[in-house]
């Protein structure tokens, strides 16, 4: 395949990938994790403040990389933000990951690069989670950049590649705590594959001692990049120590999780095949081609071996950890997609028949079209449907309707948007309300109904655990409605009777 041909195919993949990732970004209700990140970013946007939370949040790159997007759209407050701004950041980074693949052309070949670009653009998992305002699409991008740069260093690349490896490692560390898994795994896979080449291979670039200098450069750059982000760009120097505090938290979650416990084959099953309510999903094309790439890897050169080892080891570790959320598959699945490109290239070059090669290309186009269709269904048509396997603890549209009802009630209240609202629920049942009520400054949050101030609000939102107590405390002064928050999670909306009557009167006049 010519360089121009690869460039054209990568450009098409970029266009298709971006279109799938940015279309109708406000279709799906904000997930509670997204809302949590959005509120954290709002503090940085409005006050220029960032402090790492070793328990409930990940690293700072997502928030700092969101600043240019907000500035470009003229949004300077939390209330002015919207889903397009926030999710647009992760969608663009998810698409930009495709641009890393041409860096592999010399190592895996142009056919593999073009195929990987196409599969990465259309993968339902990669598309769906790129449309979420969470760290995973950034983390997958930085992880792949590190893997590529490290491999180029191992194959005799200049110090520029060592510097790029350090930048990517620093960004990964500043993005998510699981960098302590993926970065060492990549280095181990690189070492295994390098040594497996055996005597007589072109290993002089590392054998002559230059690897020490490359390692020092990478380590220094990675430390500097991570320190800049965690210290809020030197505004809070003590912040560089905060990630170490998180080690115990995430170790406990991994070894003895209280929730999100899934079997070892969870990620494989999610990708291979699922069916619910008449909807079928599968990324078997990617897995099948990746298997071909892995099987043929040891008959080939360093890169195929390196990528195979990296994907296999990291996938095994993530699968062994009992705590699992579906988006955690991205850092090893992005490598599997590259391995799938290698697998398709192996099939193409296994024959000299143009007819067979043409048939393989047609089959790939048809099969990848099926992936793109699934990506659209997952991200738009069934974006919050529990039958969608990529949906996980997803906010249901009913919660958005409840937030809309609260804003409509505020419109007929004398205080307007400054109407007091009390939310009485456990922390995990409060989100994503802080996002949807972000323009109302007098929303208070309680975990139990004991505070008298909470019961003075004209509108009270409560979890079902507290409805018995609140029914007695509020009595006939309030009317109530019920709204879903997530599947099998209901909230009660209590509305002061006089406010409810004004709302009904306004509605009847429309």
Q: Of the residues 347, 381, 415, which one is the last residue of a structural domain?
A: 381
Query: Do the beta carbons of residue 310 and residue 186 sit within 8 Å?
Result: yes
Domain match, 111 and 219 both: yes
C-beta separation of 328 from 320 below 8 A: no
The reply to whether 465 and 340 lie within a common domain is no
User: Are both 227 and 332 inside the same structural domain?
Assistant: yes
In a domain, 19, yes or no: yes
- Distance of alpha carbon 45 from alpha carbon 76, whole angstroms: 6
Planar angle of CA 92, 93, 94, nearest 5 degrees: 90
* Within a domain: 392: no
Helix (H), strand (E), coil (C) string for 274-337: EEECCEEECCHHHHHHHHHHHHHHCCCCHHHHHHHHHHHHHHHHHHHCCECCHHHHHHHHHHHH
The verdict on 256 and 353 lying in the same domain is yes
Torsion of CA 489, 57, 173, 239, to 10 degrees: -170
At 48, list the tokens.
């220029």
Q: Is residue 494 part of a domain?
A: yes
Same domain, 192 and 263: yes
What is the pLDDT at residue 203? 46
* 364 falls within a domain: yes
Same domain, 373 and 417: no
Instruction: Point out the domain boundary residue: 327, 353, 381.
Output: 381
- Whether 388 is covered by a domain: the verdict is no
CB count in 10 Å sphere of residue 3: 10
pTM of the model: 0.93
Can you read off the two tokens belonging to residue 266? Answer: 């969870």
**Short-list 311, 229, 261, CA closest to 65:** 229
Same domain, 280 and 305: yes
pLDDT of residue 256: 64
User: What is the distance between the alpha carbons of residues 62 and 198, in angstroms, rounded to a whole number?
Assistant: 42
Give the number of other Cβ atoms within 10 Å of residue 260's Cβ: 15
Q: What sections of 23-60 are H helices per DSSP?
A: 32-47
| pLDDT (0 to 100) of residue 208 | 57
Task: Please check whether residues 105 and 222 belong to one and the same domain.
Answer: yes
Indicate if 155 and 123 belong to the same structural domain: yes
372 and 406 share a domain? no
What is the residue whose two structure tokens read 């290993």? 203
Dist. CA 287–CA 267, nearest whole Å:
12
Residue 382 has a CB neighbour count (10 Å cut-off) of: 20
Distance (Å, whole) CA 374 – CA 389:
11
Handedness of CA 392, 393, 396, 401 (dihedral sign): negative
Where is the domain boundary, 330, 356, 381? Answer: 381
Question: Does any domain span residue 206?
Answer: yes
Query: What is the domain range of residue 62?
Result: 3-381
Q: Looking at the structure, do residues 359 and 448 belong to the same domain, yes or no?
A: no
What total of structural domains would you count in the chain? 2
The tens place of each residue's pLDDT in the chain, 510 residues long, gives 788 888 999 999 999 999 999 999 999 999 999 999 999 999 999 999 888 877 777 899 999 999 999 999 999 999 999 999 999 999 999 999 999 999 999 999 999 999 999 999 999 999 999 999 999 999 999 999 999 999 999 888 889 999 999 999 999 999 998 999 999 999 999 999 988 877 655 544 545 567 788 889 999 999 999 999 999 998 888 888 877 776 666 666 666 666 788 899 999 999 999 999 999 999 999 999 999 999 988 777 899 999 999 999 999 999 999 999 999 999 999 999 999 999 999 999 988 899 999 999 999 999 999 999 999 999 999 999 999 999 999 999 999 999 999 999 999 999 999 999 999 999 999 999 999 999 999 999 999 998 888 899 999 999 999 999 999 999 899 999 999 999 989 999 999 999 999 999 988 776
Terminus-to-terminus CA distance in the chain, angstroms?
A: 64
* Cα gap 423→260, rounded to integer Å: 25
387 belongs to a structural domain: no
* Residue 437: inside a domain: yes
What span, in angstroms and rounded, lies between the C-alpha atoms of 171 and 169? 5
CA atoms lying within 13 Å on the CB side of residue 189: 28
Q: Which of 129, 153, 151 is nearest to 140 (CA)?
A: 129
Both structure tokens of 379: 């991200």
Closest CA to 289 of 301, 297, 279: 297
The reply to whether 447 and 474 lie within a common domain is yes
Q: How far apart are CA 330 and CA 390, in angstroms?
A: 12
- Tell me what pLDDT residue 209 has: 64
């Amino acid at each position: 395949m010519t360089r121009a041909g690869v460039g054209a195919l990568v450009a098409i993949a970029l266009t298709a990938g971006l279109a799938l990732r940015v279309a109708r970004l406000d279709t799906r209700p904000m997930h509670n994790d997204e809302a949590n990140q959005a509120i954290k970013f709002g503090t940085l946007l409005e006050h220029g403040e960032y402090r790492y939370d070793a328990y409930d949040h990940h690293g700072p790159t997502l928030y700092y990389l969101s600043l240019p997007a907000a500035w470009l759209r003229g949004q300077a407050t939390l209330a002015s933000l919207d889903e397009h701004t926030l999710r647009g950041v992760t969608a663009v980074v998810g698409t930009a990951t495709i641009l890393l693949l041409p860096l592999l052309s010399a190592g895996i070949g142009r056919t593999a690069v073009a195929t990987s670009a196409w599969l990465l653009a259309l993968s339902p998992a990669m598309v769906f989670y790129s449309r979420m305002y969470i760290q995973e699409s950034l983390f997958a991008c930085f992880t792949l950049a590190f893997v590529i740069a490290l491999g180029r260093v191992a194959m005799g690349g200049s110090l520029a590649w060592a510097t790029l490896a350090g930048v990517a490692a620093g960004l990964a560390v500043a993005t998510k705590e699981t960098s302590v898994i993926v970065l060492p795994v990549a280095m181990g896979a690189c070492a295994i594959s390098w040594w497996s080449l055996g005597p007589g291979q072109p290993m002089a670039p590392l054998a002559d001692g230059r690897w020490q200098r490359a390692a020092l450069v990478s380590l220094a750059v990675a430390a500097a990049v991570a320190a800049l982000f965690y210290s809020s760009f030197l505004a809070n120097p003590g912040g560089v120590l905060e990630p170490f505090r998180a080690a115990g938290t995430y170790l406990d979650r991994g070894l003895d999780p209280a929730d999100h416990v899934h079997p070892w084959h969870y990620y494989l099953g999610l990708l291979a095949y699922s069916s619910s309510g008449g909807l079928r999903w599968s990324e078997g094309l990617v897995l099948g081609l990746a298997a071909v790439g892995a099987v043929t890897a040891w008959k080939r050169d360093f890169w195929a071996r390196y990528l195979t080892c990296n994907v296999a080891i990291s996938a095994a570790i993530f699968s062994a950890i009992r705590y699992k959320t579906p988006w955690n598959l991205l850092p090893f699945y992005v490598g599997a997609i590259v391995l799938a490109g290698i697998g398709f290239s192996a099939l193409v070059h296994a024959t000299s028949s143009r007819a067979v090669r043409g048939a393989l290309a047609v089959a790939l186009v048809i099969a990848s079209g099926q992936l793109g269709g699934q990506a659209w269904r997952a991200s738009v048509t069934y974006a919050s449907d529990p039958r969608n396997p990529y949906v996980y603890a997803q906010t249901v549209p009913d919660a958005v309707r409840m937030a809309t009802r609260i804003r409509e009630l505020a419109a007929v209240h004398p205080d307007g948007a400054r109407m007091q609202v009390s939310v009485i629920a456990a922390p995990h049942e409060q989100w994503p309300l802080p996002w949807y009520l972000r323009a109302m400054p007098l929303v208070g949050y309680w975990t139990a109904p004991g505070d008298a101030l909470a019961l003075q609000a004209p509108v009270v939102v409560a979890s079902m655990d507290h409805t018995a107590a609140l029914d007695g405390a509020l009595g006939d002064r309030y009317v109530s409605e019920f709204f879903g928050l997530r599947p099998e999670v209901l909230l009660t909306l209590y509305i002061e009777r006089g406010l409810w009557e004004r709302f009904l009167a306004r509605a009847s006049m429309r």
